[in-house]
Amino acid sequence: MIHVRDLKKIYKVPVKQPGVWASVRSLFDREYREVRAVDGITFDIAAGERVGFLGPNGAGKTTTLKMMTGLLHPTSGEVSVSGFTPKHRDDAFLRTVTLVMGQKQQLLWDLPPTETFALHRALYDLDLRAWKESLDELVELLGLAAFMDQPARNLSLGQRMRCELAAALLHRPKILFLDEPTIGLDVEAQVIVRAFVSAYHARHGATLLLTSHDMDDVAAMVDRVLLIDQGVIRFDGSLPELARRFGSGRRLVVRDAHADFSSIGLTRAGETWEVTVDASDINARLSAVLARSPAAEVTVSDPPLEDVLRKAFGESRPAAAP
């Protein structure tokens, strides 16, 4: 479905030297430095897979998504999406994919979302019956009926994002590229978006590539993870494999409104006490907690995904040259 081979995107960025004369000189003899946004990545995604494309800011995630949708041309390497070369932007290719970016909008600001939906029907030349069937399904899954006739400027951010998703999926694409789809949304809207993406995947078997800094998005919407850092793929595998490789220790969470566990190394976190320790130390720490408060509610689990990823990025970066 998606094949990427030695994909690179290199930008030439002008170097600005300090001083007036340096600025004048740069008009005639400008210096440049190379920025390797994507530096030779290779991976395959099969039809129907749900993949998280994760990395710190500036790692190359959005650049890669834009090359896979044809918005950017690679400096070198190959990318094939559903048999198409994205940079050619063939009509058949555009009917196969969709790109949803959490910080961009396609809704007509002064008109209700229904007008945007009608415009998309015309742009994709959709059969009226198929368009209506798709729209009805999306309205039901996303709960749009109560506000889809209001001007877009009157909608909340969460409502607009749900309408953005509906507009992007009216043509029932086979491949979904989602770039930070829940950014800025409140908790309720985030839950709705995650549930919708999972339900859409289950109904249509769509292939999903998600970028997000929200680990709840990752846990809810993907099965496989690609970690990219400094333009290079550092890890490719399932979420359990990620936890086994980079997870360290076990997390102990204690809920007790009255006891104080600070003297045995736990830290207060709202209504709970928490600590992450080596697996070999978890039984002793648990015994100390129960000795102090036999009735305490105790949970032992893997460390949070945020901690796993923080460790993964720290270990994957090459050591600085001496």
71 pLDDT above the threshold of 90: yes
Confidence of residue 50 (pLDDT cuts 50, 70, 90): very high
Could you tell me where in the chain the CATH 3.40.50.300 domains are found?
2-8+41-243
More confident residue, 205 or 249: 205
Q: What is the mean pLDDT of residues 144-153?
A: 93
Q: What is the mean pLDDT of residues 203-216?
A: 90
Q: What is the mean pLDDT of residues 35-47?
A: 94
More confident residue, 271 or 79: 79
3-state SS track over the chain: CEEEEEEEEEEEEECCCCCHHHHHHHCCCCCEEEEEEEEEEEEEECCCCEEEEECCCCCCHHHHHHHHCCCCCCCEEEEEECCECHHHCCHHHHCCEEEEECCCCCCCCCCCHHHHHHHHHHHCCCCHHHHHHHHHHHHHHHCCCCCCCCCHHHCCHHHHHHHHHHHHHCCCCCEEEEECCCCCCCHHHHHHHHHHHHHHHHHHCCEEEEECCCHHHHHHHCCEEEEEECCEEEEEEEHHHHHHHHCCCEEEEEECCCCCCHHHCCEEECCEEEEEECHHHHHHHHHHHHHHCCCCEEEEECCCHHHHHHHHHHHHCCCCCC
241 pLDDT above the threshold of 50: yes
Q: What is the mean pLDDT of residues 284-305?
A: 83
126 pLDDT above the threshold of 80: yes
| Domain spanning 2-8+41-243, CATH class | alpha beta
pTM, two decimal places: 0.78
How large a percentage of the chain has pLDDT more than 70? Answer: 95
